[in-house]
Structure 1
Protein backbone atom coordinates (compact mmCIF):
# COMPACT_ATOMS: atom_id res chain seq x y z
CA UNK A 1 0.00 0.00 0.00
CA UNK A 2 2.88 2.37 0.74
CA UNK A 3 4.23 1.78 -2.76
CA UNK A 4 0.84 2.61 -4.25
CA UNK A 5 0.74 5.80 -2.15
CA UNK A 6 4.13 6.90 -3.44
CA UNK A 7 3.18 6.09 -7.05
CA UNK A 8 -0.01 8.12 -6.65
CA UNK A 9 1.82 11.10 -5.18
CA UNK A 10 4.45 11.01 -7.95
CA UNK A 11 1.72 10.86 -10.58
CA UNK A 12 -0.22 13.82 -9.17
CA UNK A 13 2.91 15.88 -8.54
CA UNK A 14 3.98 15.33 -12.14
CA UNK A 15 0.74 17.13 -13.06
CA UNK A 16 1.80 20.17 -11.02
CA UNK A 17 0.23 19.49 -7.60
CA UNK A 18 2.39 19.88 -4.50
CA UNK A 19 0.23 17.67 -2.24
CA UNK A 20 2.21 18.44 0.94
CA UNK A 21 -0.68 17.52 3.23
CA UNK A 22 -1.53 14.45 1.14
CA UNK A 23 2.11 13.40 1.39
CA UNK A 24 1.88 13.47 5.18
CA UNK A 25 -1.43 11.77 5.79
CA UNK A 26 -1.68 9.12 3.06
CA UNK A 27 1.32 7.18 4.49
CA UNK A 28 -0.48 7.33 7.85
CA UNK A 29 -3.55 5.86 6.16
CA UNK A 30 -1.41 3.08 4.66
CA UNK A 31 -0.05 2.33 8.14
CA UNK A 32 -3.61 2.17 9.44
CA UNK A 33 -4.66 -0.31 6.76
CA UNK A 34 -1.65 -2.51 7.48
CA UNK A 35 -2.34 -2.43 11.21
CA UNK A 36 -5.94 -3.46 10.48
CA UNK A 37 -4.67 -6.37 8.37
CA UNK A 38 -6.35 -5.08 5.20
CA UNK A 39 -4.64 -5.27 1.81
CA UNK A 40 -7.17 -2.93 0.21
CA UNK A 41 -9.26 0.15 0.92
CA UNK A 42 -12.75 -0.37 2.30
CA UNK A 43 -15.41 2.21 3.07
CA UNK A 44 -15.51 1.13 6.71
CA UNK A 45 -11.77 1.49 7.30
CA UNK A 46 -11.52 4.77 5.39
CA UNK A 47 -14.36 6.35 7.39
CA UNK A 48 -12.95 5.07 10.68
CA UNK A 49 -9.50 6.46 9.86
CA UNK A 50 -10.91 9.84 8.81
CA UNK A 51 -12.49 10.21 12.26
CA UNK A 52 -9.32 9.51 14.24
CA UNK A 53 -8.67 13.20 15.15
CA UNK A 54 -10.88 14.15 18.09
CA UNK A 55 -12.19 17.56 19.13
CA UNK A 56 -12.10 18.82 15.53
CA UNK A 57 -14.81 20.18 13.26
CA UNK A 58 -16.37 17.48 11.04
CA UNK A 59 -15.02 19.38 8.02
CA UNK A 60 -11.59 18.01 9.02
CA UNK A 61 -12.96 14.47 8.77
CA UNK A 62 -14.49 15.38 5.43
CA UNK A 63 -11.15 16.66 4.14
CA UNK A 64 -9.28 13.57 5.33
CA UNK A 65 -11.83 11.29 3.71
CA UNK A 66 -11.62 13.36 0.52
CA UNK A 67 -7.88 12.71 0.33
CA UNK A 68 -8.52 8.99 0.66
CA UNK A 69 -11.29 9.19 -1.95
CA UNK A 70 -8.89 10.66 -4.49
CA UNK A 71 -6.29 7.99 -3.77
CA UNK A 72 -8.91 5.23 -3.89
CA UNK A 73 -10.19 6.45 -7.26
CA UNK A 74 -6.66 6.11 -8.61
CA UNK A 75 -6.05 2.75 -6.92
CA UNK A 76 -9.27 1.20 -8.24
CA UNK A 77 -7.83 1.30 -11.78
CA UNK A 78 -5.08 -1.01 -10.52
CA UNK A 79 -6.90 -2.98 -7.83
CA UNK A 80 -10.60 -3.42 -8.75
CA UNK A 81 -11.48 -4.62 -5.24
CA UNK A 82 -10.78 -1.09 -3.91
CA UNK A 83 -13.83 0.65 -2.47
CA UNK A 84 -14.17 4.41 -3.08
CA UNK A 85 -15.56 6.05 0.08
CA UNK A 86 -18.87 7.87 -0.51
CA UNK A 87 -19.38 11.62 -0.25
CA UNK A 88 -21.62 13.28 2.32
CA UNK A 89 -20.67 10.98 5.20
CA UNK A 90 -20.07 13.76 7.72
CA UNK A 91 -22.14 16.88 8.48
CA UNK A 92 -21.21 20.11 6.75
CA UNK A 93 -19.99 18.27 3.67
CA UNK A 94 -18.50 20.59 1.10
CA UNK A 95 -20.58 23.70 1.83
CA UNK A 96 -18.60 26.87 1.30
CA UNK A 97 -19.42 29.81 3.53
CA UNK A 98 -21.32 32.58 1.79
CA UNK A 99 -18.80 35.26 0.80
CA UNK A 100 -19.09 38.86 1.90
CA UNK A 101 -18.82 40.90 -1.28
CA UNK A 102 -17.01 44.17 -0.60
CA UNK A 103 -18.33 47.18 -2.47
CA UNK A 104 -15.93 49.82 -3.77
CA UNK A 105 -17.08 52.03 -0.89
CA UNK A 106 -16.32 49.24 1.63
CA UNK A 107 -12.79 48.87 0.26
CA UNK A 108 -12.18 52.62 0.28
CA UNK A 109 -13.32 52.84 3.90
CA UNK A 110 -11.25 49.80 4.89
CA UNK A 111 -8.07 51.25 3.41
CA UNK A 112 -8.78 54.65 4.92
CA UNK A 113 -9.25 53.14 8.38
CA UNK A 114 -5.72 51.70 8.35
CA UNK A 115 -4.46 55.17 9.28
CA UNK A 116 -5.74 54.48 12.81
CA UNK A 117 -3.33 51.56 13.33
CA UNK A 118 -0.58 51.91 15.90
CA UNK A 119 2.50 52.74 13.83
CA UNK A 120 3.07 54.34 10.41
CA UNK A 121 4.66 51.17 9.01
CA UNK A 122 1.88 48.91 10.31
CA UNK A 123 -0.69 51.27 8.80
CA UNK A 124 1.11 51.39 5.45
CA UNK A 125 1.63 47.63 5.39
CA UNK A 126 -2.03 46.80 6.03
CA UNK A 127 -3.26 49.49 3.62
CA UNK A 128 -1.01 48.23 0.83
CA UNK A 129 -1.64 44.55 1.54
CA UNK A 130 -5.44 44.85 1.66
CA UNK A 131 -5.40 47.10 -1.39
CA UNK A 132 -3.32 44.56 -3.33
CA UNK A 133 -5.68 41.73 -2.40
CA UNK A 134 -8.67 43.80 -3.50
CA UNK A 135 -7.26 44.65 -6.95
CA UNK A 136 -5.51 41.37 -7.75
CA UNK A 137 -7.62 38.62 -6.16
CA UNK A 138 -4.50 37.07 -4.65
CA UNK A 139 -4.73 34.70 -1.71
CA UNK A 140 -3.48 36.15 1.57
CA UNK A 141 -0.96 33.30 1.82
CA UNK A 142 0.43 34.23 -1.59
CA UNK A 143 0.79 37.89 -0.68
CA UNK A 144 2.54 37.13 2.60
CA UNK A 145 4.93 34.76 0.79
CA UNK A 146 5.97 37.40 -1.75
CA UNK A 147 9.69 38.09 -1.64
CA UNK A 148 11.17 41.37 -2.77
CA UNK A 149 12.47 39.84 -6.01
CA UNK A 150 8.95 38.52 -6.75
CA UNK A 151 7.71 42.11 -7.14
CA UNK A 152 8.91 43.69 -10.39
CA UNK A 153 8.06 47.35 -10.01
CA UNK A 154 9.45 48.18 -13.46
CA UNK A 155 7.17 45.82 -15.38
CA UNK A 156 4.33 45.78 -12.85
CA UNK A 157 4.32 41.98 -12.65
CA UNK A 158 4.20 39.77 -9.56
CA UNK A 159 5.59 36.24 -9.51
CA UNK A 160 3.35 34.06 -7.36
CA UNK A 161 4.72 30.88 -5.84
CA UNK A 162 1.52 29.06 -4.89
CA UNK A 163 1.19 26.34 -2.29
CA UNK A 164 -1.30 24.62 -4.60
CA UNK A 165 0.93 24.20 -7.63
CA UNK A 166 4.62 23.72 -8.42
CA UNK A 167 4.44 26.11 -11.37
CA UNK A 168 4.64 29.84 -10.52
CA UNK A 169 2.19 32.23 -12.16
CA UNK A 170 2.66 35.79 -13.30
CA UNK A 171 0.16 38.42 -12.19
CA UNK A 172 0.26 41.73 -14.12
CA UNK A 173 -1.03 44.74 -12.22
CA UNK A 174 -2.67 48.00 -13.19
CA UNK A 175 -0.14 50.88 -13.13
CA UNK A 176 -1.91 52.45 -10.16
CA UNK A 177 -1.39 49.25 -8.16
CA UNK A 178 2.28 49.16 -9.14
CA UNK A 179 2.64 52.77 -7.98
CA UNK A 180 1.04 51.85 -4.65
CA UNK A 181 3.52 49.00 -4.16
CA UNK A 182 6.45 51.25 -5.09
CA UNK A 183 5.42 53.87 -2.55
CA UNK A 184 5.12 51.19 0.14
CA UNK A 185 8.56 49.75 -0.71
CA UNK A 186 10.13 53.20 -0.42
CA UNK A 187 8.46 53.87 2.94
CA UNK A 188 9.28 50.37 4.22
CA UNK A 189 12.99 50.74 3.41
CA UNK A 190 13.14 54.22 4.88
CA UNK A 191 11.48 53.25 8.17
CA UNK A 192 13.21 49.86 8.51
CA UNK A 193 16.49 50.08 6.56
CA UNK A 194 17.91 47.13 8.55
CA UNK A 195 14.85 44.87 8.25
CA UNK A 196 15.73 41.21 8.71
CA UNK A 197 12.90 39.96 6.49
CA UNK A 198 13.38 39.31 2.77
CA UNK A 199 9.63 39.29 2.22
CA UNK A 200 8.00 42.23 0.45
CA UNK A 201 5.57 42.89 3.30
CA UNK A 202 7.16 43.27 6.72
CA UNK A 203 5.99 43.86 10.27
CA UNK A 204 6.63 47.13 12.10
CA UNK A 205 9.67 45.41 13.66
CA UNK A 206 11.17 44.58 10.27
CA UNK A 207 10.43 40.85 10.47
CA UNK A 208 8.34 38.80 8.04
CA UNK A 209 4.65 39.66 8.22
CA UNK A 210 2.59 36.85 9.75
CA UNK A 211 -1.05 35.94 9.19
CA UNK A 212 -2.13 36.32 12.84
CA UNK A 213 -1.40 40.05 13.24
CA UNK A 214 -2.85 40.74 9.77
CA UNK A 215 -6.07 38.95 10.70
CA UNK A 216 -6.27 40.85 13.99
CA UNK A 217 -5.94 44.16 12.14
CA UNK A 218 -8.55 43.10 9.57
CA UNK A 219 -11.05 42.19 12.29
CA UNK A 220 -10.40 45.47 14.08
CA UNK A 221 -10.80 47.57 10.94
CA UNK A 222 -13.92 45.85 9.56
CA UNK A 223 -15.59 46.28 12.95
CA UNK A 224 -14.47 49.90 13.07
CA UNK A 225 -16.08 50.76 9.72
CA UNK A 226 -19.27 48.94 10.65
CA UNK A 227 -19.35 45.99 8.24
CA UNK A 228 -18.50 43.38 10.90
CA UNK A 229 -21.47 42.54 13.11
CA UNK A 230 -22.73 39.62 15.17
CA UNK A 231 -24.17 38.05 12.04
CA UNK A 232 -21.83 39.33 9.31
CA UNK A 233 -18.18 38.34 9.63
CA UNK A 234 -16.13 39.25 6.55
CA UNK A 235 -12.94 37.26 5.92
CA UNK A 236 -9.73 38.44 4.29
CA UNK A 237 -10.40 35.80 1.62
CA UNK A 238 -13.59 37.67 0.75
CA UNK A 239 -11.45 40.37 -0.88
CA UNK A 240 -10.45 37.69 -3.41
CA UNK A 241 -14.09 36.72 -3.87
CA UNK A 242 -15.03 40.36 -4.36
CA UNK A 243 -12.40 40.80 -7.07
CA UNK A 244 -13.69 37.80 -9.02
CA UNK A 245 -17.32 38.86 -8.67
CA UNK A 246 -16.51 42.42 -9.80
CA UNK A 247 -14.84 41.05 -12.95
CA UNK A 248 -17.79 38.80 -13.78
CA UNK A 249 -20.38 41.50 -13.10
CA UNK A 250 -18.52 43.94 -15.35
CA UNK A 251 -18.41 41.39 -18.18
CA UNK A 252 -22.09 40.50 -17.89
CA UNK A 253 -23.20 44.13 -17.68
CA UNK A 254 -21.15 45.11 -20.72
CA UNK A 255 -22.36 42.14 -22.79
CA UNK A 256 -18.89 40.54 -23.04
CA UNK A 257 -18.28 36.87 -23.77
CA UNK A 258 -18.10 35.63 -20.17
CA UNK A 259 -17.39 32.01 -21.11
CA UNK A 260 -14.55 33.18 -23.32
CA UNK A 261 -13.03 35.22 -20.50
CA UNK A 262 -13.34 32.49 -17.86
CA UNK A 263 -10.05 30.68 -18.68
CA UNK A 264 -8.13 33.95 -18.33
CA UNK A 265 -9.77 34.71 -14.97
CA UNK A 266 -9.09 31.16 -13.75
CA UNK A 267 -5.44 31.51 -14.70
CA UNK A 268 -5.13 34.96 -13.12
CA UNK A 269 -6.65 33.70 -9.86
CA UNK A 270 -4.52 30.56 -9.87
CA UNK A 271 -7.45 28.14 -9.97
CA UNK A 272 -6.18 24.69 -10.92
CA UNK A 273 -9.75 23.60 -11.63
CA UNK A 274 -11.95 26.06 -13.62
CA UNK A 275 -14.89 24.88 -11.51
CA UNK A 276 -13.44 27.03 -8.74
CA UNK A 277 -14.09 30.09 -10.90
CA UNK A 278 -17.53 29.03 -12.13
CA UNK A 279 -18.59 28.62 -8.49
CA UNK A 280 -18.99 32.40 -8.25
CA UNK A 281 -21.93 32.25 -10.67
CA UNK A 282 -23.96 30.32 -8.10
CA UNK A 283 -22.47 31.96 -5.00
CA UNK A 284 -23.73 35.48 -5.74
CA UNK A 285 -27.47 35.96 -6.50
CA UNK A 286 -26.94 38.87 -8.90
CA UNK A 287 -24.48 36.84 -10.96
CA UNK A 288 -26.85 33.90 -11.09
CA UNK A 289 -29.64 36.18 -12.26
CA UNK A 290 -27.45 37.73 -14.97
CA UNK A 291 -26.28 34.31 -16.11
CA UNK A 292 -29.88 33.10 -16.29
CA UNK A 293 -30.91 36.16 -18.29
CA UNK A 294 -28.00 35.60 -20.71
CA UNK A 295 -29.01 31.96 -21.20
CA UNK A 296 -32.66 32.92 -21.74
CA UNK A 297 -31.66 35.53 -24.35
CA UNK A 298 -29.53 32.96 -26.16
CA UNK A 299 -32.40 30.45 -26.06
CA UNK A 300 -34.82 33.05 -27.46
CA UNK A 301 -32.42 33.90 -30.29
CA UNK A 302 -31.95 30.23 -31.12
CA UNK A 303 -35.71 29.67 -31.15
CA UNK A 304 -36.37 32.67 -33.41
CA UNK A 305 -33.77 31.55 -35.94
Structure 2
Protein backbone atom coordinates (compact mmCIF):
# COMPACT_ATOMS: atom_id res chain seq x y z
CA UNK A 1 0.00 0.00 0.00
CA UNK A 2 1.53 3.31 -1.04
CA UNK A 3 2.19 6.15 1.33
CA UNK A 4 -0.28 8.37 -0.54
CA UNK A 5 -3.03 5.75 -0.17
CA UNK A 6 -2.27 5.44 3.55
CA UNK A 7 -2.40 9.20 3.94
CA UNK A 8 -5.78 9.41 2.19
CA UNK A 9 -7.13 6.61 4.41
CA UNK A 10 -5.95 8.39 7.55
CA UNK A 11 -7.41 11.75 6.50
CA UNK A 12 -10.71 9.98 5.82
CA UNK A 13 -10.61 8.50 9.34
CA UNK A 14 -9.95 11.97 10.77
CA UNK A 15 -12.88 13.46 8.90
CA UNK A 16 -15.47 10.70 9.29
CA UNK A 17 -14.68 8.87 12.54
CA UNK A 18 -12.96 11.56 14.59
CA UNK A 19 -15.04 14.37 13.07
CA UNK A 20 -12.04 16.66 12.79
CA UNK A 21 -12.74 20.05 11.26
CA UNK A 22 -12.01 20.56 7.55
CA UNK A 23 -9.29 23.01 8.56
CA UNK A 24 -7.58 20.36 10.72
CA UNK A 25 -7.83 17.70 8.01
CA UNK A 26 -6.37 20.12 5.45
CA UNK A 27 -3.50 21.13 7.77
CA UNK A 28 -2.64 17.50 8.58
CA UNK A 29 -2.77 16.67 4.88
CA UNK A 30 -0.23 19.41 4.10
CA UNK A 31 2.07 18.34 6.92
CA UNK A 32 2.05 14.67 5.91
CA UNK A 33 2.45 15.57 2.23
CA UNK A 34 5.68 17.33 3.24
CA UNK A 35 6.78 14.11 4.96
CA UNK A 36 5.93 11.95 1.92
CA UNK A 37 7.83 14.32 -0.36
CA UNK A 38 10.86 14.23 1.91
CA UNK A 39 10.82 10.44 2.27
CA UNK A 40 10.56 9.97 -1.50
CA UNK A 41 13.94 11.69 -1.88
CA UNK A 42 15.38 10.39 1.39
CA UNK A 43 14.56 6.74 0.65
CA UNK A 44 14.99 6.89 -3.11
CA UNK A 45 11.37 6.11 -3.94
CA UNK A 46 7.77 6.59 -2.87
CA UNK A 47 7.31 5.26 0.69
CA UNK A 48 4.93 2.39 1.41
CA UNK A 49 3.77 0.56 4.52
CA UNK A 50 7.09 -1.30 4.83
CA UNK A 51 8.96 2.01 4.58
CA UNK A 52 7.03 3.43 7.52
CA UNK A 53 7.69 0.26 9.51
CA UNK A 54 11.42 0.72 8.90
CA UNK A 55 11.56 4.41 9.86
CA UNK A 56 13.82 5.33 12.79
CA UNK A 57 14.18 8.53 14.87
CA UNK A 58 17.16 9.59 12.73
CA UNK A 59 14.85 9.70 9.69
CA UNK A 60 12.41 12.03 11.42
CA UNK A 61 15.26 14.21 12.66
CA UNK A 62 16.46 14.47 9.08
CA UNK A 63 12.91 15.46 8.03
CA UNK A 64 12.77 18.21 10.69
CA UNK A 65 16.22 19.45 9.66
CA UNK A 66 15.10 19.60 6.02
CA UNK A 67 11.99 21.56 7.01
CA UNK A 68 14.17 23.99 8.99
CA UNK A 69 16.41 24.38 5.96
CA UNK A 70 13.34 25.21 3.89
CA UNK A 71 12.50 28.04 6.27
CA UNK A 72 9.90 26.37 8.51
CA UNK A 73 9.88 27.97 11.95
CA UNK A 74 9.90 26.20 15.30
CA UNK A 75 6.13 26.30 15.72
CA UNK A 76 5.60 24.87 12.22
CA UNK A 77 8.09 22.05 12.78
CA UNK A 78 6.57 21.23 16.17
CA UNK A 79 3.12 21.06 14.57
CA UNK A 80 4.38 18.84 11.75
CA UNK A 81 6.02 16.47 14.20
CA UNK A 82 2.73 16.24 16.10
CA UNK A 83 0.95 15.34 12.85
CA UNK A 84 3.57 12.68 12.06
CA UNK A 85 3.22 11.19 15.55
CA UNK A 86 -0.55 10.99 15.16
CA UNK A 87 -0.23 9.38 11.73
CA UNK A 88 2.32 6.76 12.86
CA UNK A 89 0.26 5.86 15.93
CA UNK A 90 -2.74 5.35 13.67
CA UNK A 91 -0.62 3.09 11.44
CA UNK A 92 0.25 1.05 14.52
CA UNK A 93 -3.41 0.56 15.41
CA UNK A 94 -4.79 0.11 11.91
CA UNK A 95 -1.95 -1.73 10.16
CA UNK A 96 0.21 -3.19 12.95
CA UNK A 97 3.21 -0.96 12.22
CA UNK A 98 5.35 -0.34 15.31
CA UNK A 99 5.91 3.45 15.64
CA UNK A 100 9.63 3.09 16.38
CA UNK A 101 10.50 6.34 14.65
CA UNK A 102 8.80 8.46 17.34
CA UNK A 103 10.43 6.73 20.30
CA UNK A 104 12.29 9.30 22.33
CA UNK A 105 12.16 12.04 19.70
CA UNK A 106 11.33 15.55 20.86
CA UNK A 107 10.28 18.49 18.77
CA UNK A 108 11.83 21.93 18.61
CA UNK A 109 11.19 24.01 21.69
CA UNK A 110 8.92 26.95 20.97
CA UNK A 111 10.60 30.31 21.31
CA UNK A 112 9.55 31.90 24.57
CA UNK A 113 7.59 35.10 24.09
CA UNK A 114 9.33 38.21 25.37
CA UNK A 115 7.10 40.76 27.09
CA UNK A 116 7.22 44.27 25.68
CA UNK A 117 8.64 47.04 27.79
CA UNK A 118 6.67 50.11 28.75
CA UNK A 119 7.94 53.58 28.07
CA UNK A 120 9.64 55.18 31.10
CA UNK A 121 6.73 57.63 31.31
CA UNK A 122 4.11 54.84 31.49
CA UNK A 123 6.19 52.73 33.88
CA UNK A 124 6.38 55.65 36.31
CA UNK A 125 2.74 56.66 35.81
CA UNK A 126 1.31 53.26 36.84
CA UNK A 127 2.22 53.57 40.55
CA UNK A 128 1.01 57.18 40.65
CA UNK A 129 -2.38 56.23 39.20
CA UNK A 130 -3.44 53.87 41.97
CA UNK A 131 -5.59 56.58 43.58
CA UNK A 132 -7.77 56.57 40.45
CA UNK A 133 -8.94 52.98 40.93
CA UNK A 134 -8.69 52.34 44.69
CA UNK A 135 -11.35 53.91 46.91
CA UNK A 136 -9.42 52.90 50.04
CA UNK A 137 -6.38 55.22 50.42
CA UNK A 138 -4.54 52.51 52.34
CA UNK A 139 -4.89 49.98 49.51
CA UNK A 140 -3.93 52.64 46.98
CA UNK A 141 -0.74 53.23 48.94
CA UNK A 142 -0.07 49.48 49.07
CA UNK A 143 -0.47 49.14 45.30
CA UNK A 144 1.75 52.17 44.70
CA UNK A 145 4.47 50.65 46.86
CA UNK A 146 4.19 47.28 45.07
CA UNK A 147 4.29 48.73 41.55
CA UNK A 148 7.14 51.06 42.47
CA UNK A 149 9.13 48.13 43.86
CA UNK A 150 8.53 45.98 40.77
CA UNK A 151 9.76 48.68 38.42
CA UNK A 152 12.44 50.10 40.71
CA UNK A 153 14.05 46.73 41.50
CA UNK A 154 13.02 44.45 38.64
CA UNK A 155 11.39 41.84 40.87
CA UNK A 156 9.14 39.03 39.76
CA UNK A 157 5.64 39.47 41.20
CA UNK A 158 6.06 36.24 43.21
CA UNK A 159 9.34 37.53 44.69
CA UNK A 160 7.75 40.80 45.77
CA UNK A 161 4.69 39.16 47.33
CA UNK A 162 6.87 36.66 49.22
CA UNK A 163 8.59 39.48 51.14
CA UNK A 164 7.78 40.13 54.79
CA UNK A 165 7.75 43.48 56.54
CA UNK A 166 11.16 42.89 58.10
CA UNK A 167 12.63 42.52 54.58
CA UNK A 168 11.65 46.00 53.45
CA UNK A 169 14.49 48.51 53.02
CA UNK A 170 13.59 51.90 54.48
CA UNK A 171 15.09 55.36 54.28
CA UNK A 172 16.69 54.94 57.68
CA UNK A 173 17.93 51.40 57.12
CA UNK A 174 19.62 49.25 54.49
CA UNK A 175 19.79 50.52 50.93
CA UNK A 176 19.54 47.01 49.47
CA UNK A 177 16.95 44.27 49.37
CA UNK A 178 17.62 40.56 49.78
CA UNK A 179 15.45 38.63 47.35
CA UNK A 180 14.90 34.89 47.20
CA UNK A 181 14.56 34.03 43.52
CA UNK A 182 14.06 30.89 41.47
CA UNK A 183 15.89 27.81 42.68
CA UNK A 184 16.19 29.31 46.18
CA UNK A 185 18.93 31.57 44.83
CA UNK A 186 19.36 34.70 46.91
CA UNK A 187 20.44 37.99 45.39
CA UNK A 188 21.01 41.51 46.65
CA UNK A 189 19.21 44.30 44.80
CA UNK A 190 19.97 47.98 45.47
CA UNK A 191 16.92 50.10 46.24
CA UNK A 192 16.73 53.73 45.17
CA UNK A 193 15.76 56.37 47.76
CA UNK A 194 12.57 57.12 45.78
CA UNK A 195 11.51 53.46 46.13
CA UNK A 196 12.37 53.38 49.83
CA UNK A 197 10.33 56.56 50.38
CA UNK A 198 7.21 54.94 48.91
CA UNK A 199 7.79 51.81 50.99
CA UNK A 200 8.19 53.99 54.10
CA UNK A 201 4.83 55.62 53.41
CA UNK A 202 3.17 52.21 53.05
CA UNK A 203 4.78 50.83 56.21
CA UNK A 204 3.44 53.72 58.26
CA UNK A 205 -0.10 52.43 57.62
CA UNK A 206 0.80 48.74 57.27
CA UNK A 207 -0.38 47.67 60.71
CA UNK A 208 1.38 44.28 60.84
CA UNK A 209 4.38 42.94 62.73
CA UNK A 210 7.87 42.22 61.45
CA UNK A 211 6.92 38.72 60.27
CA UNK A 212 3.73 39.85 58.53
CA UNK A 213 3.63 39.89 54.72
CA UNK A 214 4.99 43.13 53.32
CA UNK A 215 2.01 43.43 50.98
CA UNK A 216 -1.24 42.65 52.74
CA UNK A 217 -4.57 41.74 51.20
CA UNK A 218 -7.79 43.45 52.25
CA UNK A 219 -8.34 40.78 54.94
CA UNK A 220 -4.84 40.93 56.36
CA UNK A 221 -3.28 37.91 54.64
CA UNK A 222 -0.59 37.87 51.97
CA UNK A 223 -1.69 39.72 48.84
CA UNK A 224 -2.86 37.38 46.09
CA UNK A 225 -1.11 37.80 42.71
CA UNK A 226 -4.49 37.88 40.95
CA UNK A 227 -5.55 40.87 43.06
CA UNK A 228 -2.34 42.71 42.19
CA UNK A 229 -2.81 41.92 38.50
CA UNK A 230 -6.38 43.23 38.60
CA UNK A 231 -5.25 46.42 40.30
CA UNK A 232 -2.72 46.97 37.52
CA UNK A 233 -5.26 46.14 34.85
CA UNK A 234 -7.70 48.68 36.28
CA UNK A 235 -4.93 51.25 36.63
CA UNK A 236 -3.60 50.94 33.09
CA UNK A 237 -7.11 51.29 31.66
CA UNK A 238 -7.85 54.34 33.79
CA UNK A 239 -4.60 55.94 32.63
CA UNK A 240 -4.88 54.89 28.99
CA UNK A 241 -1.69 52.82 29.18
CA UNK A 242 -1.30 49.89 26.71
CA UNK A 243 -2.76 46.51 27.63
CA UNK A 244 0.65 44.84 27.78
CA UNK A 245 1.32 46.72 31.03
CA UNK A 246 1.50 43.85 33.54
CA UNK A 247 3.56 43.21 36.68
CA UNK A 248 5.99 41.16 34.57
CA UNK A 249 6.23 43.98 32.02
CA UNK A 250 7.48 46.26 34.83
CA UNK A 251 10.34 43.82 35.45
CA UNK A 252 11.08 43.76 31.74
CA UNK A 253 10.94 47.57 31.63
CA UNK A 254 13.41 47.76 34.52
CA UNK A 255 15.96 45.73 32.55
CA UNK A 256 15.30 47.38 29.21
CA UNK A 257 15.58 50.91 30.59
CA UNK A 258 18.80 50.05 32.42
CA UNK A 259 20.25 48.69 29.18
CA UNK A 260 19.19 51.79 27.28
CA UNK A 261 20.84 53.91 29.98
CA UNK A 262 24.20 52.19 29.49
CA UNK A 263 24.15 49.41 32.11
CA UNK A 264 26.11 46.32 31.10
CA UNK A 265 24.41 42.98 30.54
CA UNK A 266 26.33 41.20 33.30
CA UNK A 267 25.10 43.67 35.92
CA UNK A 268 21.53 43.37 34.65
CA UNK A 269 21.87 39.58 34.82
CA UNK A 270 22.81 39.80 38.51
CA UNK A 271 19.98 42.23 39.28
CA UNK A 272 17.40 40.02 37.60
CA UNK A 273 18.75 36.81 39.11
CA UNK A 274 19.23 35.02 35.80
CA UNK A 275 21.41 31.92 35.81
CA UNK A 276 22.87 32.62 32.36
CA UNK A 277 23.67 35.71 30.33
CA UNK A 278 21.83 34.31 27.31
CA UNK A 279 18.59 34.49 29.28
CA UNK A 280 19.22 38.15 30.00
CA UNK A 281 19.89 38.83 26.34
CA UNK A 282 16.52 37.37 25.36
CA UNK A 283 14.73 39.03 28.24
CA UNK A 284 15.95 42.48 27.41
CA UNK A 285 15.46 42.11 23.64
CA UNK A 286 19.06 42.99 22.97
CA UNK A 287 19.55 43.58 19.26
CA UNK A 288 22.75 43.24 17.29
CA UNK A 289 23.35 46.98 17.20
CA UNK A 290 23.26 47.25 21.00
CA UNK A 291 25.54 44.24 21.40
CA UNK A 292 28.03 45.68 18.91
CA UNK A 293 28.01 49.02 20.71
CA UNK A 294 28.63 47.32 24.08
CA UNK A 295 31.47 45.26 22.54
CA UNK A 296 33.10 48.30 20.95
CA UNK A 297 32.98 50.18 24.23
CA UNK A 298 34.31 47.37 26.39
CA UNK A 299 36.70 45.21 24.37
CA UNK A 300 40.42 46.05 24.84
CA UNK A 301 41.01 45.74 21.08
CA UNK A 302 38.16 48.00 20.06
Matched, 1:127 2:144: yes
Pick aligned residue for 1:242 from 253, 264, 268: 253
SS of structure 2 residue aligned to 1:159? strand
Pick aligned residue for 1:86 from 68, 85, 106: 106
Matched, 1:269 2:256: no
1:47-196 equivalent positions in 2, closer than 5 A: 85-88=105-108, 93-116=109-132, 117-153=134-170, 154-162=173-181, 164-189=182-207
In 1, Cα distance between the equivalents of 2:157 and 2:138? Answer: 19
Question: Residue deviations 1:259-296, cap 9 Å, x none?
Answer: xx322221111111221111145x26xx5433345668
SS of structure 2 residue aligned to 1:188? coil
In 1, Cα distance between the equivalents of 2:272 and 2:298? Answer: 28
**Structure 2: which 5+ runs fail to align?**
1-55, 58-74, 80-102
Matched, 1:291 2:291: yes
- Alpha-carbon shift at residue 123 of structure 1 (Å): 0.6
In the alignment of these two chains, the number of paired residues is 201
CA 1:120–1:262 in structure 2 vs 1: closer, same or farther (change >3 Å)? same
Pick aligned residue for 2:233 from 219, 224, 227: 219
- Alpha-carbon shift at residue 173 of structure 1 (Å): 0.8
CA RMSD of aligned residues (A): 3.2
CA 1:274–1:236 in structure 2 vs 1: closer, same or farther (change >3 Å)? same
Q: State which structure, 1 or 2, has the greater radius of gyration over its C-alpha atoms.
A: 2
TM-score by length of 2: 0.58
Question: Residue deviations 1:63-117, cap 9 Å, x none?
Answer: xxxxxxxxxxxxxxxxxxxx864342xxxx4323342211221123212220021
In 1, Cα distance between the equivalents of 2:129 and 2:234? Answer: 10
CA 1:219–1:161 in structure 2 vs 1: closer, same or farther (change >3 Å)? same
Could you tell me whether the CA contact under 8 Å between 2:164 and 2:210 is conserved in 1? no
Could you tell me whether the CA contact under 8 Å between 1:196 and 1:206 is conserved in 2? no
**Structure 1: which 5+ runs fail to align?**
1-41, 44-57, 63-82, 252-257
TM-score by length of 1: 0.58
In 2, Cα distance between the equivalents of 1:152 and 1:224? Answer: 30
